[in-house]
A = this chain, B = another copy of it.
Amino acid sequence: MAKTLIKNIGLYRNHKITEHGNIEITDDRITAFPEKIEDISAYVTVIDGKDMLALPGFINTHNHIAMTAFRSYADDMQLMDWLEKKIWPAEACLNEEVVYAQTMLGIAEMIRCGTTGFADMYFFMDQVAEAVKDSGIRACLSRGLTGITPNADAALQENLDFYRTWHNSCDGRITVMFGPHAPYTCPEEYLYKVVDTARSVGAEIHMHLSETKAEVDNHRKQYGLSPIAWADKVGVFDCGCLAAHCVHVDDEDLEIMARKKVRVAHNPGSNLKLASGTAPIGKMLKKGITVSLGTDGASSNNNLDIFEEMRLAALIHKGVTYDPTIIPAETAVNLLTEGGAAALGYRDAGKLEIGYKADITLMDREGLHWYPRNDVLSLLAYSANSMDVDTVFIDGKPVLKNKEFVTLDIERIKARAEETKKQLLAAVESV
């Protein structure tokens, strides 16, 4: 039993911050919050939390992580131009080596920003899973499935194989969902097949829903139903669903989402940058819908800084609803932590509690933006930034310490990302 003590630290527990706390970690779990340290020699590792803040590790609930390859590759374009002229041709040239290298880059970036778990939907998912395994992060992975391509059935089989191989692997760090991409890429018959297959193994579903107004309008024309109502009809929500975006949802949609316990991945940065709009998360939260935060891929964000998404979520909804109280500081921090864990179905992560996984992010409070000190939760939500993240534990293991990576070779990761990106773009140009 390896015991770690984080001592004399500010703790975010029960939606409040208390100072001068202690956290005991035994192996992969939080085992105590001792008020006094009787015997310091009982701990293999002792971390001094002076002037730091301990939070549940941040969760990024929507990503296409290997798209870090396309960070800053194509910006400031209309959506269909961007997809058809730049992203899809480039994606067609991806291979296993690129995906592994870019995924490692993305994971490292997320850890640096305090992220301990993420959800992904892409392809070459075995390589993504290998990178998750190697890096020590927690992840909920799905194979992106489109029913309109020749390999639709093969991809579904791949998702099934992937589920069987990786679900609950790496001491439970990796879980797997099915990933039907979106209503406009999954014809009804195909989506029924996906749902049946997911149901046959008890898997949940990760899907883009109601991201743009055009998608919703077209869907209503084609099916006479909103994407949400249609997904419900096909049985997506009966599997358990992590729904990305949900920007253009009406009150009927929200009723369905609440009733069917749909968990939302809100991606404010991507929704703004791609000009999709702003999801009504204030209404969702009032209805008791689980809301969490995602960065989306780095090609539409352009970073994987989930703390920046928290800031965006805290700010934009006040501005667009003209209600300064709609997402208060506490709510914003919860979206980042327990909301994220709930969205990914983690029952023992997302809070600092005894028995919970030791996925813990420590932020330092040395920065000038932490002064003067009035309300710590407000400082966290409205003034801090992700570079304040000092130390990150995942599954009880330190992966970042004093802002340095403990296990990952960052220079090699950066170099490999650059090399494989160059190979990829050379391949794209030679097509």
Binding site for B on A (CB under 8 A): 68-73, 75-79, 82, 102, 105, 108-109, 112, 213, 269, 271-278, 298, 301-305, 308, 311-312, 314-316, 318-326, 328-329, 367-369, 371-376, 378-379, 381-383, 385-387, 410, 413-414, 417-418, 420-422
Can you offer 21 A-B residue contacts whose CB atoms are under 8 A? A71-B383, A72-B378, A77-B325, A78-B325, A108-B368, A112-B368, A269-B315, A273-B315, A275-B319, A276-B322, A277-B319, A277-B322, A278-B319, A302-B382, A303-B385, A312-B312, A320-B320, A371-B417, A372-B417, A372-B418, A372-B421
Residue of B nearest to A377 (CB): B72
**Which residue on B lies nearest to A315, using beta carbons?**
B272
Q: Which residue from chain B places its CB closest to the CB of A320 in the assembled complex?
A: B320
Q: A109 and B369: CB pair below 8 A?
A: yes
Q: Which B residues touch A73, using CB under 8 A? A: 374-375
Q: Are B372 and A79 in contact (CB under 8 A)?
A: no
For A371, give its contact among B272, B301, B414 (CB under 8 Å).
B414
B278 adjacent to A75 (CB under 8 Å) = no
Tell me how far the C-beta of A325 lies from the nearest C-beta in chain B, rounded to whole angstroms.
5
Please indicate the chain B residues that have their CB under 8 angstroms from the CB of A367 in the complex.
112
Question: A319: which of B82, B276, B372 is its contact (CB, 8 Å)?
Answer: B276
Query: A105-B368, A301-B382 in contact; A324/B275 too (CB < 8 A)?
Result: yes
Please report the C-alpha to C-alpha distance between residue A70 and residue B382 in the assembled complex, in whole angstroms: 13
| Chain B residue nearest in CB terms to A405 | B368
CA distance A273 to B324 in the complex (A): 6
| Chain B residues with CB under 8 A of A298 | 383
A68 x B319 contact (CB < 8 A): no
Chain B nearest CB from A126 CB (Å) reads 22
A295 to chain B, nearest CB (A): 11
Given A324-B79, A383-B72, residue A369 in contact with residue B318 (CB < 8 A): no
Structural contact, B112 and A329, CB atoms closer than 8 A: no
Stoichiometry, as copies per complex, reads: 2
CB distance from A314 to the nearest CB of B (A): 8
A372, A374, A414 interface centre (most CB from chain B within 10 Å)? A372
Instruction: Identify the closest chain B residue to A368 (Cβ).
Output: B109
Which residue from B76, B275, B277 sits with its C-beta under 8 Å from A329?
A: B76
Q: Which of B72, B373, B422 contacts A375 (CB 8 A)?
A: B72
In the bound complex, residues from chain B placing their C-beta under 8 Å from that of A308 are: 311, 385
Asked whether, in the complex, the Cβ of A275 is within 8 Å of the Cβ of B368, the reply is no
Quick check: B375 and A75 within 8 Å, CB to CB?
Answer: yes
Roughly how many angstroms separate A150 CA and B420 CA in the complex, as a whole number? 69
Nearest Cβ in chain B — how far from A254, in angstroms? 20
| A369 x B274 contact (CB < 8 A) | no
Residue of B nearest to A275 (CB): B324
A385 touches B386 (CB 8 A): yes
Q: A305-B385, A324-B275, A382-B301 are in contact. Are A373 and B418 (CB under 8 A)?
A: yes
In the complex, what distance in Å separates the CA atom of A385 from the CA atom of B329? 21
**Chain B residues, Cβ within 8 Å of A314:** 273
A247 → chain B closest CB, angstroms: 9
Additional A-B contacts beyond A109-B369, A274-B318, A275-B321 (16; CB < 8 A): A72-B374, A76-B324, A76-B325, A76-B378, A112-B368, A271-B319, A273-B314, A273-B315, A277-B319, A298-B383, A301-B382, A301-B383, A303-B385, A368-B413, A371-B414, A373-B421
In the bound complex, what is the Cα–Cα distance between A422 and B372 (angstroms)? 9
A383 cross-chain contacts in B, Cβ below 8 A:
71-72, 298, 301-303
Q: Are B274 and A324 in contact (CB under 8 A)?
A: yes
Asked, given contacts A371-B105, A385-B385, A417-B372, whether A72 binds B379 with beta carbons under 8 Å apart, the answer is yes
